[in-house]
Amino acid sequence: MQQPTSHPIGTEKAISIRNLYKSFGELHVLRGVDLDVFKGENVVVLGRSGTGKSVLIKIIAGLLKPDQGTVQVLNQEVPSLSEKQLRELRLKIGFSFQNSALYDSMTVRENLEFPLVRNVKNLSRSEINRAVEEVLDSVGLSQTINQMPSELSGGQRKRIGIARTLIMNPEIMLYDEPTAGLDPITCMEINELINEVRERYHTSSIIITHDLTCAKATGDRLAMLFDGQFIREGTFEEVFETDEERIKSFYDYNFVE
Amino acid sequence: MRRNSRDYVITRRIDNLLLNFYEAYMFMGRFFREAFRGPLEFQELVKQCYQIGYRSLPLISLTGFITGMVFTKQSRPSLMEFGATSWLPSLVSIAIVRALAPLITSLISAGKVGSSIGAELGSMRVTEQIDAMEVSAVNPFKFLVVTRVLASTISIPILSFYCAFVGLMGSFLDVTLNEETNIVAFFEKAFEQITFLDIGSALFKAIAYGFTIGMVGCYKGYNATQGTQGVGKAANASVVLSMFLIFLEEVAIVQITNWMR
Ligand SMILES: Nc1ncnc2c1ncn2[C@@H]1O[C@H](COP(=O)(O)OP(=O)(O)O)[C@@H](O)[C@H]1O
Ligand SMILES: [Mg+2]
C-alpha cells in the first residue's frame, strides 16, 4: 500500500469554507459545511453518492452559487468575485471532472492547448508545443498527442483531463471521483499520479471519492460528508476507528483491497 | 418537489412559459453583449460556417433543383390554358426567389443544422464539457454560442441564394426540354419581374431564419439537463421550436413586404 509521501503541509489555508448552505428547490444538499484545506495538503472528501460532494467543489470553483456561508479560496471570497476576478482565480484552480469532460471534437493536443492559448497571450508555437509535451510527459501519455478522446481508455481520458488542468500550473486541484469506473490497477496509477502532481506542482487538493483505497493512498486528511454536513474528520485510521454505525457501514461497503 | 398551486402567479404552465420567454430573451441579450466584446473565436467561426454551410450543399442542391423542376412542371398546364407558357420563367422565379428558396433552405436547415447544434451543445453540457471550459477561465458562451449563431446567420442567406439559383436551373432544364429557350433568354425572362424589394426581403428573411435556427439550437443545447435524455430532447426541441418561429416570422415578413410594395 502506497502512502502519501512525506510532504510539507503549510499552516496557511488554501481553501476555507464556513457554514455553507446550498439547496435546489426543496432539496437541501449542503447544510452547514465547514472545511479547511491547508497549502500542500491532500484532503479527501468521502460520502455516499448524492450527498453533494460534486456540488461542494463546484461551489469552490464558482460554477454554482451558495445560498449562505463563506467560501474563501486563496484568500478570495468566491461568491462575491466579479467575472474578471473569478476568471483570474480559476487560472489557479484545476478541476478534474468525474467523466473527464474532454472536448470530444478536439484532439488531445487541441484539448491541452485550449486553455493555454486563450489565457496566455503571445505564446509562440514552439512554447505551446513545449508546454503540451511537458504535461503529457508528466501524465505519461506522450504517444496519444494526436488521438481523439473517443480513442482513449477511461484511465487515459482521466489523465488527459488532469494534464489539461496542469498546463496552467494550478495551485489548487479539485478531483471529482478520479478513480470511479476504473479497474484496480488503473486506480492505483491514478492515485500515484495524484501524489506526483502534488510533488511536482506543489498543489493543495480536494479529492472526492468513495473508493477507500484511493482515500488511503492520497489523503493526508479525510472528511466524511453525511446528510449535508461533515460528520467526521481526520486521518484514515482516525476516521474509521469507530463503532458508529453509519461510518462502519460505509467502510464495509466501500473498502475493497 | 411539487409546489403548491398557490405558489404560481397564474398557472404552472403559463408561469413556465413566461419564464422560458424571459430566459430566452436574456440568452439573446447575452449573445449581443458577448458578440461585440473582445476578440472573436475566428477559427471556430470558420469551422462552423463550413459545418453549417458547406456540408448542407448536397441536400440543398438536390431539394432546390427538384423543387424548381417540379414547380415548373406543375404550373405549365394552368399557363397553357391561357396560352401563356412563355410566362413560366417569371412565374417560377417569383415563387422561388420570393418564397420558396428562403423557406425551403431554412426548414431543411432547421432540421439538419438546428438539431445538430442542439445535440452537440446538449451533450457538451451534460458531459460537463461546458463547465470544463468555464473553470479553465475560457468563456464557453463566446466560444460555442457566439460562433454558431453567427455562422448560421451568415451561412443560411448564402445557402438560400444558392438554393434559388439551383431551383432556377431545375426550372430551366424543364423549360428547355418542353419549350424553345436558351439560358440567356430564360434568365432574362426570369429576372424581369424580380424587384430589388424581392431580393431585399428574401435576404432579410434568410438572415432572420439563420439567426433563429442558430439561436434556438444554442439555447436548447446550452441549457440541456437530465443526462443523455436531455441531449435528445434538446435536439428535438430545437427543430420544433425553430420551425415554429420561422413560420411566424414568414407570415410577419410577408405581411410587411406586401405593405411596402
Ligand atoms: N444543478 C443542479 N440542479 C438541481 N439539482 C442538483 C444540481 N446539481 C446537483 N443536484 C442535486 O444535488 C444532489 C447532490 O448532487 P452531487 O453533488 O452531484 O452528489 P455527489 O455527492 O454524488 O457528487 C443530487 O441529489 C443532485 O440531484
Ligand atoms: Mg458527484
> CB A165 to CB B136 under 8 A?
yes
Same domain, B148 and B26: no
Same domain, B105 and B131: yes
- pLDDT tens digit string along A82-108? 999 999 999 999 999 999 999 999 999
- ipTM value, please give it: 0.90
Between the CA of A180 and the centroid of ligand 2 the distance, in Å, is 10
Cα A183 → chain centroid = 19
Average pLDDT over residues B3-22: 78
Same domain, B138 and B198: yes
Between the CA of A226 and the centroid of ligand 1 the distance, in Å, is 14
Same domain, B26 and B52: no
Residue A177: all three cell numbers together: 471521483
Report which of A201, A205, A202, A40 is spatially closest to residue A134, judged by C-alpha positions.
A201
Asked whether residue B18 carries a pLDDT value surpassing 80, the answer given is yes
- pLDDT tens digit string along B120-162? 999 999 999 999 999 999 999 999 999 999 999 999 999 999 9
Same domain, B19 and B65: no
Residue B172: all three cell numbers together: 430551366
Same domain, B29 and B47: no
B196 CB-contact burial (10 Å; exposed 0-12 / middle 13-18 / buried 19+): exposed
Between the CA of A98 and the centroid of ligand 2 the distance, in Å, is 7
Indicate the average pLDDT of chain B.
91
pLDDT-derived band of residue B6, with 50, 70 and 90 as boundaries?
Answer: low
> CB A168 to CB B1 under 8 A?
no
| Rounded-to-integer distance, Cα B21 and Cα B17, Å | 6
Same domain, B17 and B61: no
Instruction: Domains for chain A: give ranges and CATH numbers.
Output: 10-92+172-257 (3.40.50.300), 102-169 (no CATH)
Q: What is the pTM of this model?
A: 0.89
Ion ligand 2 neighbours, Cβ < 5 Å: A 54
Same domain, B105 and B201: yes
Q: What integer pLDDT is reported at residue B3 of this predicted model?
A: 52
Q: Which of A20, A26, A27, A29 to mutate to test the pocket of ligand 1 (most atoms within 8 A of CB)?
A: A29
> CB A114 to CB B131 under 8 A?
no
B127, B135, B144, B147: best to mutate for the A interface, most A CBs within 10 A: B135
The count of structural domains within chain B is 2
* DSSP letter for each residue of B179-248: S---HHHHHHHHHHS--HHHHHHHHHHHHHHHHHHHHHHHHHHHT--SHHHHHHHHHHHHHHHHHHHHHH
**Type of residue at B74:** Q
Same domain, B134 and B33: no
Q: What integer pLDDT is reported at residue A1 of this predicted model?
A: 43
Determine contact: B208 vs chain A, CB below 8 A. no
Same domain, B211 and B250: yes
pLDDT-derived band of residue A61, with 50, 70 and 90 as boundaries?
Answer: very high
For B243, the domain range is: 43-260
Same domain, B2 and B108: no
Average pLDDT over residues B83-94: 88
Average pLDDT over residues A158-180: 94
How many Å is the Cα radius of gyration of chain A?
A: 18
Q: What integer pLDDT is reported at residue B261 of this predicted model?
A: 80
Ligand 1 nearest-atom number relative to CA A48: 21
Minimal Cβ distance to A115: which of B120, B124, B138: B138
A–B: how many Cβ contacts below 8 A?
58
- pLDDT tens digit string along B158-178? 999 999 999 999 999 999 998
Same domain, B100 and B129: yes
Average pLDDT over residues B107-124: 95
- pLDDT tens digit string along A112-166? 999 999 999 889 999 999 999 999 998 999 999 999 999 999 999 999 999 999 9
